Structure 1
């Protein structure tokens, strides 16, 4: 068996973006750890810090996740005291989620993504950071355009 390492192609943009995103998630997880929150829970709270209540379906669409997975996440957050659930008055099939006082006390974490960005861009000049954002946005738009054509 060979001990030679398996290296990905150096020009695989998808892999580079994916690995960078994973590292960003690890940084975020480290920053959230003292608050007993996971990145996924922080995303849910981020929505609830901007809106008083939101349906599980809306959360799932926002998070680009499956509704059953988000429902399980919300159930765990309810048990931990981060959110409250209630049935929608207008649609008995819809579950609405709202932040508890415990969650509202953590609203200062709302802009934690700025610390993650600062870590990722620590040695970038402001012009380089602006250029990176613009280029990634163009790449995202190109991907969306490509997918809408097929």
Structure 2
């Protein structure tokens, strides 16, 4: 019987869970889900985006993105609007409150990154990020 090779996808998920353990308490403290934080962070980095671009970058399926954006909009953190020339295109941006939310959380998030980096090492962290960026660009 052949011995199965180590699972890349399972190992990536386990590594994600190990790192998210550093960030979940801060998210809970601010009443944000992981998906909501990803949306806020991406909009802070990129500025306004079409909802389908945001869903792709945040790795959130479009049906789930509708609910995430609905809750963020209800809480005053994002605003959505349809393009006047094409009602099918929906744009999303952070509100001032959303910008403030990011700023309020960023110091604590940075502390968590530093904790991970202290345990893992700065050089290995840079190497890992480089490898993961290469990996995410491979095509089936």
Following TM superposition, the consecutive aligned residue runs of length 4 or more in structure 1 with deviations greater than 6 angstroms are none
Paired residues for 1:49-88 under 5 Å: 49-88=44-83
Number of the residue aligned with 1:141: 134
Instruction: Count matched residues.
Output: 135
The 2-side partners of 1:112 and 1:67 are apart by: 29
38, 46, 49: which one aligns with 1:43: 38
Displacement after TM superposition at 1:133 (Å): 3.0
Number of the residue aligned with 1:97: 92
Kept in 2: contact 1:55–1:94 (CA 8 A): yes
115, 121, 128: which one aligns with 1:119: 115
1:131 aligns with 2:117: no
Kept in 2: contact 1:49–1:110 (CA 8 A): no
Displacement after TM superposition at 1:92 (Å): 0.8
Kept in 1: contact 2:35–2:60 (CA 8 A): no
The 2-side partners of 1:50 and 1:21 are apart by: 21
The 1-side partners of 2:125 and 2:107 are apart by: 20
List alignment gaps of at least 5 residues for structure 2.
none
SS in 2 for 1:42: helix
| CA RMSD, Structure 1 to Structure 2 (Å) | 2.7
- Relative distance call for 1:14 and 1:53 in structure 2 (3 A) is closer
List alignment gaps of at least 5 residues for structure 1.
1-8
Q: TM-score, normalised by structure 2?
A: 0.75
Q: TM-score, normalised by structure 1?
A: 0.71
The 1-side partners of 2:51 and 2:135 are apart by: 30
